[in-house]
Structure 1
Amino acid sequence: GAPLCAVAVSAGDRGFRGGPRPRLAGEVRGRGKQGFVVNVWASWCAPCRRELPMFQNLATNYEPRGIGVWFVSVDDAPDKPTALQILKESGIAPPTFWAAGDLEPFKRALNPRWPGMIPATFLFDASGKLRYFWGGPVYEEEIVPIVEGFLAGEPIDGEADFTLSPGKVLR
């Protein structure tokens, strides 16, 4: 996968971390982690909100084992207070991030094949290389085996894309 590189992440105000255009990869390096799970979500996305407690549970279980779990909101600026309230109510601990501005560079940086649907979840190694991508809602029983395999040193490299198929034209 593509390395995690320049990502437009901003708004250090009121709980979200970042600056005008920091490199999320810079956040990844130097933290003594083997890898990171990055969950992209929004306050208006019901499947995203349903996943938050599961991801918080993953963070609790995997942070001590070397896997960071980060949350990146793609909410528009007026919805930031709502997003922060949802994170607070879900018991989500920092760091949390907010993707600001043009989301195209953000999407390309996370996964060039990602069209931008949310929720979306990414597993990166410590160097910022994408190791696995879940394009849609994910359940604990789907993500845990991948993370466990990654921690065990298995060559994890793949994706589970849950976008709708175009279907058939019936004649």
Structure 2
Amino acid sequence: MKKIFVLAVATLLGFAGMAQFKSASLQAAGLTCAMCTKAINTSLEQLPFVKDVDVDIKTSSFIINFKEGSNADFDQLKNAVEDAGFSVAKLSATGNFNNVKVENDTHVQIGGKNYHFLNIKPQTLDGEKTIVLADKDFMGSKEFKKISAATKMSCVQTGKAAACCTKDGISANSRIYHVTI
């Protein structure tokens, strides 16, 4: 009986912070021509969790659709853009959330990854929502400076768990994605 209770609790906790990211909007910096766009597009399409990529040459933007049931990796998206010779100017991700409670300057685990919410009001994410990645490798330096000023936690500067995160049970030096809504 005790084993069944523990299994039931573990199952319920597993569903508490669930979200499935279905797409991302990525704006690249440094593009000057259609060949630049093609290089990024080709690099993104090679990622195993990417279903397809729609390109808007005028805005240097890429709408990336993820394969259903896949675990999107934002660092791999960034690395694919950098491998093509460019940088990420902005990255937002859209997902279907199921009762994910978030507050300003708190850590939440979603889909096995750690997220630190910045500059938001307390809310529950339900249904389709878009989050904006606020780490310095995912936005311009001016925007990052403004967002990072909203917290005194040191993890925002490195993207790695620091003393501010380990008190929440996150392993030291684990990846922390800083996000806003």
Tell whether the structures are fold-level matches, with TM greater than 0.5.
no
Structure with higher RCO (Cα < 8 A, 6+ apart):
1
**TM-score w.r.t. structure 2 length?**
0.29
Query: Considering only CA atoms, is the larger Rg found in Structure 1 or Structure 2?
Result: 2
Q: Which has the higher strand share?
A: 2
Which TM-score applies when normalising by structure 1? Answer: 0.30
